[in-house]
Amino acid sequence: MHIEFLLEEPSAEAALQAILPKILADNVSFHFHVFEGKQDLLKKLPSRLKGYRRWLPADWRIFVLIDEDRQDCRVLKARLEQAAREAGFLTKSHPNSQGEFRVVNRLAVEELEAWFFGDIEALRIAYPNVSKTFQNRAKYRDPDAITGGTCEALERLLKRYYPKWLRKIKVAQNIALHMEPSRNRSRSFQVFIEGLKACAGEDNLKD
């Protein structure tokens, strides 16, 4: 079993490198293809999928993950689904009558950093000087609904650690290392995990 991940940025790769081994069994291999941002991924996705269609082995799957970035999630998801459909692939959202599919499309709402706010314990293990009570503030209670951008909110929260700019890859590595998928409060993260498990199949998951 193998999964090809198409990602928009290196910080997503850094996070998934730590998260995937907590979900997938050791017999599942995976590879990351990181694009130069969201628009680069969206532009190249149709041709990339058509290329896969010509040679993809039967036990391989494709997983596309991009940030919502305050766009209409339905429009964005429809664009991903259309690219897969035009390449000749069935998707998790539109499988065949037996429930079979080859592509999973998922959005991080509104950005990948919402997933880190979804696991306060992991965030504070990685960065212990962060206030113990910050998650009690109303704006942080729903990780997927933090106003003003989750990346910007995380940058403000970690200003003591990164006074000049947020080192997104390093932050993703540090927090994801301590994340426990089952306790994450981000709805988009749980939808991602559901898609990941479906992609791998029950026989290819950690006990």
The per-residue pLDDT for range 179-194, each reduced to its tens digit, is 999 999 999 999 999 9
Q: In what order do the strands lie in the sheet with 60-67?
A: 29-34, 2-7, 60-67, 103-108
What is the average per-residue pLDDT within 58-86? 93
Dump pLDDT digits (tens) for 120-179. 999 999 999 998 788 778 788 899 988 778 999 999 999 999 999 999 999 999 999 999
Rounded CA gap, 160 and 137, in Å?
A: 19
Rounded CA gap, 90 and 108, in Å?
A: 21
Segment holding 190, helix H or strand E: helix 187-200
Predicted pLDDT of residue 64: 97
Query: How is domain 2-111+186-204 classified at the architecture level of CATH?
Result: 3-Layer(aba) Sandwich (3.40)
3-state helix, strand, coil in the chain (%, to 5): 50, 15, 35
Helix (H, G, I), strand (E, B) or coil at 160: coil
For the chain, give the mean pLDDT. Answer: 93
Predicted pLDDT of residue 94: 95
Sign, CA torsion 12/28/106/7: positive
pLDDT at residue 70 is higher than 90: no
Predicted model pTM:
0.94
Percent of the chain whose pLDDT exceeds 70: 100
pLDDT at residue 79 is higher than 90: yes
State the angle between helix axes of 10-23 and 168-176 in degrees (0 to 180), rounded to the nearest 10: 10
State the angle between helix axes of 38-53 and 73-86 in degrees (0 to 180), rounded to the nearest 10: 30
DSSP codes, 36-48: SSHHHHHHHHHHH
What is the average per-residue pLDDT within 59-88? 93
| Residue ranges covered by each domain of the chain | 2-111+186-204, 113-183
What is the average per-residue pLDDT within 65-85? 91
Predicted pLDDT of residue 132: 79
Predicted pLDDT of residue 69: 81
Predicted pLDDT of residue 114: 94
